[in-house]
Amino acid sequence: MSINCLRCGKPLEENSTVCKYCGESLRLDAVEDFDALIRSILEEEDRTRKPGGKEGKGQAPAKEKPLRTPFVVGLLGISTLLVLALLFVMTLPWFVLTGSGTIRGMVVEEGTLGFLEPGVGNLPPGTEVPEDQVLARWSPLDLAAYLAAAGREQAKVPQVDGTGRISVPAGVHMAYTFGLLLAALLAALSLPLYWLDKRLRWMELVRGWAVGALLLTGLQTMAMKVPYLNMFALRAQGAIRGGDRINAVRITMEGIAVNDRLYGVRIQETPYLLLGVALTGAWIMTTTLLVAHYKNKELEKL
């Protein structure tokens, strides 16, 4: 069997180390150099087939796929609309306050009259009001503003015998109220992050803000519904007890009980509260999808 030259293809003489036609060297190191050349060509072709591997001579490295795909931009747009809607809903009344006990737990002074229904602030102190008379309609922002105004009014009055002391449950309820104000601020701060954070690295933080807003809404609603945790019921108990040193004054689930008399403490939720909860839940869902998209992209880089 004859062996042909790798260069010119003509038959070689037996035991020859050089082709007599073209002068090609037949040494072993030349064959090894040829094999190395073939391997380098195959490796180069393999790199050009892989995504991001186009690094051939004269070619720029492949650009990384952008995170702002149409899907992501759509999610960002939906989240932005949800946050704007939530901020608007937080200016609408979530709670309606009624009850003869509720008014005894409210600070009815000049600085707080603007937060009460017309005519309520003009009632003489101690006036009995019907249990179903609406005393106030408050949004979360109204409630926080009322507490700030009530605090200023209380600071003007000298406190005697600890009557101005705030109980721990009432203080916790107040913290929930101002926490909702903070949640509204964080929701507003998330809007620029949606469009300035090109890499979506801050979406997990935004999701934490949304979860916190939902948690604070639930805690605020629970405190409003349970008189034992409600700052108005707790203050009303102190006010009634101060004027009735003989009979036992206790809090029940319906209000303040004094023997057979019940001073109702009733705070009802409006549909706007449920709408706020729904918007916050949808906000959490969209940010969760953005977080998942970011993490998937990070895994693709590994």
Report the chain's mean pLDDT, rounded to a whole number.
80
Percent of the chain with pLDDT over 70: 74
Least trusted range by pLDDT, from 51-65, 203-217, 234-248: 51-65
Query: What residue ranges do the domains of the chain occupy?
Result: 1-62, 70-301
pLDDT tens readout for residues 152-198 = 887 776 554 445 567 788 889 889 889 888 888 888 988 888 888 77
Across the range 260-269, mean pLDDT stands at 90
Q: Is the pLDDT of residue 62 over 80?
A: no
Give me the pLDDT at residue 96, please: 95
Across the range 206-217, mean pLDDT stands at 91
pLDDT class for 56, splitting at 50, 70, 90? very low
Give me the pLDDT at residue 158, please: 58
Across the range 103-127, mean pLDDT stands at 82
Give me the pLDDT at residue 204, please: 87
Sheet holding 266-269, edge to edge: 134-138, 95-98, 266-269
The Cα–Cα gap between 281 and 47 comes to 46
